[in-house]
Amino acid sequence: MAEDLHLIRNIGIMAHIDAGKTTTTERILYYTGKNYKIGEVDEGTATMDWMAQEQERGITITSAATTVMWKHQSDDYKINIIDTPGHVDFTVEVERSLRILDGAVAIFCAVGGVEAQSETVWRQANKYNVARICYVNKMDRSGANFYAVVDQIREKLKAKPLPLQLPIGVEDSFIGVVDLLEMKAYQWDEDDQGATYSEIEIPEDMADDVQVYRTQLLETIAELDERLMEKYFEDPDSITYEEMVSVIRKATLERKIEPVLCGSSFKNKGVQRLLDAIVMYLPSPADMPAITGVNPKTEKEETRTAEATAPFAALAFKIATDPFVGKLTFIKVYSGELKSGETVYNVNTGKRERVSKILQMHSNKQQPLESVTAGNIVALVGMKEIHTGDSLTDDKHPIVLENITFPEPVIQIAIEPKTKDDEEKMMQALAKLSEEDPTFIVSENEESGQILISGMGELHLDILLDRLKREFNVDCNHGKPRVAYKEALSTSFRHHATYKRQNGGKGSFAVMDFELQPLPYSAKGLEFKSEVKGGAIPKEYLAGAEKGFKMAMMNGKYGFPVEAMSVTVLDGETHPADSDAMAFEICAKIGFRDALQQMDTVILEPIMKVEITTPDEYIGNVTGDLNRRRSVLEQIDAKVGFQVITAQVPLAEMFGYVTTLRSISQGRATFSMEFLKYAEVPPEVKDYIMNVGRFIL
């Protein structure tokens, strides 16, 4: 019997760091019967934070997948959950998860509201058109304000939040919620860890607020449905519960609204109602449009529907290394069926590989499956040559699905093994880690011969170095973190390049006239054009030249990569015997290098968006320190008892900031930051980088 797609939910839990993602997920595991006891982040016992580094630091580093069952009304729903990190250094985990998820729960702290990483993950969800519901967590915390958070969701995220619940009480007196659809109040039983809750009378002092928000709810529903608009004008109370649920679900799927609920996961209040909302309002695979891709044989667009009988198509969204089974390939199956032991075709590599096992994951634990059908998320064992973003299909129906885009690394360090014997082992370990994490880049400095590792932040690289030591038994020396600078052309420049080599026998000959032109700082890659007339340079030789320019861009005038530029080949010469694609590739490399020495380039540095939360009394200390860091203050939001500062600060000025901030605020201020853009460095900074800052160890 085929699996009912309408009873499947593929969801992610996303939020700013410390908003309560993992705590909420742990309660979901408990109330669905997946776990027999509640794991706690602070105690290092959270099921979904299984890595040693996660348990020690109390943060989520890698996205963990699990599957739970939840009974709603008379149906049993299967919910595939991915718990994502909140720290900006691990935003890659959020990016690739949202690429394959159908829906998401956005969690907000009732005190902090919409914070920096909240905005980032919201934009990522917008990018992939992911339907979502909002959950205002930590209603028990001092300073909790449900209504202020709803306003922030509307104003900061440009969203359309629709409260379906109101909190009963706040801070220590928070006991439950009022359901605005049912017009009923619920209180959770603290004696059994919130496993049961009971209906109570709506508190009298809430009657006015409940009526106001109930009216707003009915008005919104009426605006979303013409038939209900008529009922609303005749008698608002004639709109039934079932009609409201139906309209809210449809509007959520169409991204017209975001339902808002509230609770306190740590105090075991509100999670069951959140589970109900997940199955009621978030999409099933059957609700999703057919996936679109390109047939590599015909180069035409094709679609795949979420049906078990359709041709098999899946996307590999994550690679992980398991100590027992080896490489795990996490996939989302968009169409068809895959059985254990079958062969799949990797469209990106053009290779066929046998799937030895199909596993349903529960954090780092596994359950073997005989097969998997459309709409599900599983892990495969047996895939050797595969990368994040590869499309897997059957042999006869290849299709390339949209790949996953990842942010660029902004920080790097040089590393070397402590012993010569560990050099090969270190490189193998680095290869495995970079295979898992597309934002972790391994390269070699051509000038110094140093091995450089690049990542999203200090914490990111710190974790990876720790993994090198623990998982791969490789101890490394490493330098201080260094900013991942880039170079960009500042002007156009025409150059004549010649490459001649004769050592007896066949020689090498290539001559090119080309023009280099700058591109916007936000651009990426090489824009290659040819204006060669009369076949002066054959197309296959031009392909070699394009390859040469691409390789040459890895090292600019000052040793940093040139991220983007335009090259137009204007003219050239060939030799009937000595010219080939390789000669023009070398000519392009030499020509580009020589051209750079005659022109100037600008150095670009990463600019971070920094958000600092500080008590009122330290605002002067914090802003004064920011001014010394070449910052641009964007805004200061005054809250009750504290202020939130948003600023743009060069990454180079933020090393060690956590210690400084702790010192100037007596440990009471906190901050978060995320990559914003690349910008040209000031002249004095450029001089320093050229003279001092190029060397790492």
Q: Which residue, chain included where needed, has tokens 């004095």? A: 684
pLDDT at 696 over 60: no
Cβ-contact 257, 58 below 8 angstroms? no
The arithmetic mean of pLDDT across residues 456-467, rounded, is 80
481 pLDDT more than 90? no
Structure tokens belonging to residue 311? 């041709």
| Euclidean distance between CA atoms 381 and 619, whole angstroms | 53
Name the helix (H) or strand (E) containing 501: strand 493-501
Please enumerate, as own/partner, the contacts of 206-211 that have beta carbons within 8 Å and a separation of 24 or more. Answer: 206/166, 206/168, 206/178, 209/166, 210/166, 210/178, 210/180, 210/183
What's 9's DSSP letter? Answer: E
DSSP state of 690: H
Q: What is the pLDDT of residue 573?
A: 94
Assess contact for 375 and 101: CB atoms under 8 A: no
pLDDT digits (tens, 9 = 90+) for 95-152: 778 888 999 999 999 998 988 778 878 888 898 899 999 999 999 999 999 999 999 9
Q: What pLDDT, on the 0 to 100 scale, is given for residue 692?
A: 61
Q: Which residue has the higher pLDDT, 509 or 96?
A: 509
Q: How confident is the model at residue 407 (pLDDT cuts 50, 70, 90)?
A: confident
pLDDT tens, residue by residue, 142-178 = 999 999 999 999 998 999 999 999 999 999 899 999 9
Q: What is the DSSP track for 541-577?
A: HHHHHHHHHHHHTTS-TTSS-B-EEEEEEEEEE--TT
Which residue in the block uniquely carries the two structure tokens 């942010």? 407
Q: CA-CA distance, 421 to 415, in Å (whole number)?
A: 15
Cα–Cα distance between 189 and 195 in angstroms, integer? 7
C-alpha–C-alpha distance, residues 120 and 126, integer Å:
10
- E strand or H helix that includes residue 226: helix 226-234
The pLDDT, as a whole number, for residue 448 is 62
Does residue 472 carry a pLDDT above 70?
Answer: yes
Answer whether 162's CB lies under 8 Å from 261's CB. Answer: no
With a cut of 60, say whether residue 52 has pLDDT above it.
no
Which of the two residues, 219 and 360, has the higher pLDDT score?
A: 219
| Residue 363 confidence (pLDDT) | 64
Q: Whole-angstrom Cα distance, residue 134 to residue 157?
A: 12
Of the two residues 232 and 365, the one the predictor is more confident about is 232
Helix H or strand E segment including 242: helix 241-253
Number of other CB atoms surrounding residue 91 within 10 Å = 24
Q: Which of 81-90, 114-123, 335-344, 436-445 has the lowest mean pLDDT?
A: 81-90
User: Average model confidence (pLDDT) for the chain?
Assistant: 87
Please report which confidence band the pLDDT of residue 670 belongs to, taking 50, 70 and 90 as the band edges. confident
Taking the mean position of all CA atoms in its chain, how far away is CA 633? 26
| 626 contacts 645 by C-beta, under 8 angstroms | yes
Contact 47, 26 (CB under 8 A): yes
Q: What does the alpha-carbon distance between residue 371 and residue 339 come to, in Å, rounded to a whole number?
A: 4
Q: Are the C-beta atoms of residues 571 and 539 closer than 8 Å to each other?
A: no
Per-residue model confidence as pLDDT tens digits over 574-597: 999 899 999 999 999 999 999 999
Q: What is the per-residue pLDDT across 267-279, written as a single tens digit (0 to 9) for each?
A: 999 999 999 999 9
* Token output for 71: 């009974």
Flag the least confident range among 244-248, 350-354, 690-694. Answer: 690-694
Q: How many CA atoms lie within 13 A of 338 on its CB side?
A: 36
In which residue are the tokens 């992911």 written?
A: 130
* Residue 569, strand partner residues: 514, 530
Sign of CA dihedral 593, 595, 599, 605: negative
57 pLDDT more than 50: no
Instruction: Tell me the C-alpha distance between 446 and 560, whole Å.
Output: 11
Candidate from 37-51, 240-254, 391-405 with smallest mean pLDDT: 37-51
Kind and range of the H or E element at 516? strand 508-517
